[in-house]
């Protein structure tokens, strides 16, 4: 669920409920996330007022007068707005209760997500070394080309590295490489700058499209329907093993690259 588009969709969904609200109480039912939630987390935030909800990479940043909540949803995390006092499910680990009577609730069955507090979140060790935002001004084919010189890893793994560029997860790596016509196993250091320009364009195109589809997901999300994937219909290769390539009709291949399942067209991607 939490690809960059879904995190961005969540941000847009929750921000109106949070901004300007005082935090009245924080309830943590299970501190065992990817890293244990630090003692004193609640104390540092209770009584402060939320100024904005931002996003950096796949991290949500809830900014308050005293510092920021740094929230990562991992593989299975969701945030949603509930009325304070709504009974919590087994995997509803954290509530941030607001003066309005609403609460931000974090649900994360696999507990791969994380929750931190920092006065200077962009300098936090988890965020300090991150690469550029794919939809921001610092991301380009030139950037990918420069960073990939001398690298022998498969380009798919390269483009999924958060220190290279953030927000390109397993789905969008496959989709972007298909759109750019680049074979996912090709060594990152052996791809010309012009092809990286095409890849950068493809990443931007795919992510923007997914964010638009994510807007639709949001309604389902709040309706408690889960994220019945409307953007799933738009996927060209991901999860389409043996189905015809939308471009040439050859069967889509599925293959493990760097311990992650990958999908591509042998004829269209070189």
Partner DNA sequence: CGCGACTCCTGCCGGC
Partner DNA sequence: TGCCGGCAGGAGTCGC
Contacting positions for DNA (CB under 7 A): 1-3, 6, 32, 34, 57-58, 72, 74-76, 90-91, 109-112, 126, 150-154, 157, 160, 162-163, 169-171, 189, 227, 229, 258-261
Provide, rounded to whole angstroms, the least separation between the CB of residue 205 and DNA: 18
**What does the block give as tokens for 242?**
């043996």
Provide, rounded to whole angstroms, the least separation between the CB of residue 179 and DNA: 17
Provide, rounded to whole angstroms, the least separation between the CB of residue 86 and DNA: 18
Nearer to DNA, 58 or 253 (CB): 58
- CB 184 within 8 Å of CB 193: no
Please identify which of the residues 66, 111, 198, 260 carries the catalytic annotation.
260
Provide, rounded to whole angstroms, the least separation between the CB of residue 66 and DNA: 24
Give the chain's end-to-end CA distance (angstroms, integer).
Answer: 29
In the chain, the largest separation of any two C-alpha atoms, in whole Å, equals 59
Please identify which of the residues 11, 56, 58, 102 carries the catalytic annotation.
58
Nearer to DNA, 41 or 221 (CB): 221
Please identify which of the residues 3, 6, 175, 227 carries the catalytic annotation.
3
DSSP class of residue 245? P
* Catalytic (active site) residue 5: no
Nearer to DNA, 19 or 239 (CB): 239
Long-range CB contacts for residues 79-84, cutoff 8 Å, separation at least 24: 79/10, 79/14, 79/104, 79/105, 79/106, 79/107, 80/13, 80/14, 80/104, 80/105, 80/107, 80/221, 80/222, 81/13, 81/14, 81/17, 81/105, 81/222
* Catalytic (active site) residue 208: no
Please identify which of the residues 2, 5, 134, 184 carries the catalytic annotation.
2
Nearer to DNA, 98 or 199 (CB): 199
Angle at 260 between CA 3 and CA 206, to 5 degrees: 40
Residues in the chain: 270
* Catalytic (active site) residue 2: yes
* Catalytic (active site) residue 58: yes
**What does the block give as tokens for 198?**
């095409």
Active site residues: 2-3, 58, 260
């Amino acid at each position: 669920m939490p690809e960059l588009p879904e995190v961005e969709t969540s941000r847009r969904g929750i921000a109106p409920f949070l901004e300007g609200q005082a935090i009245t109480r924080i309830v943590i039912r299970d501190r065992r996330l990817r890293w244990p939630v630090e003692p004193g987390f609640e104390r540092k935030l209770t009584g402060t007022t939320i100024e904005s909800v931002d996003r950096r990479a796949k991290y949500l940043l809830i900014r308050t007068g005293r510092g920021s909540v740094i929230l990562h949803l991992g593989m299975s995390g969701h945030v949603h707005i509930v009325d304070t006092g709504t009974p919590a499910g087994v995997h509803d680990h954290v509530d941030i209760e607001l003066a309005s009577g609403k609460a931000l609730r974090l649900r994360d069955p696999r507990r791969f997500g994380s929750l931190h507090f920092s006065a200077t979140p962009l300098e936090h060790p988890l965020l300090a070394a991150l690469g550029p935002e794919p939809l921001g001004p610092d991301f380009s084919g030139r950037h990918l080309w420069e960073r990939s010189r001398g690298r022998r890893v498969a380009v798919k793994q390269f483009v999924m590295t958060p220190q290279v560029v953030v927000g390109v997860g397993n789905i969008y790596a496959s989709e972007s490489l298909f759109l750019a016509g680049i074979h996912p196993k090709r060594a990152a250091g052996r791809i010309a700058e012009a092809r990286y320009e095409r890849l950068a364009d493809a990443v931007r195109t795919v992510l923007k499209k997914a964010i638009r589809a994510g807007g639709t997901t949001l309604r389902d999300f709040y309706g408690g329907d889960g994220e019945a994937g409307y953007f799933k219909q738009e996927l060209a290769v991901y999860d389409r093993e043996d189905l015809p390539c939308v471009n040439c009709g050859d069967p889509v291949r599925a293959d493990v690259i760097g311990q992650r399942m990958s999908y591509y067209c042998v004829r269209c991607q070189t």
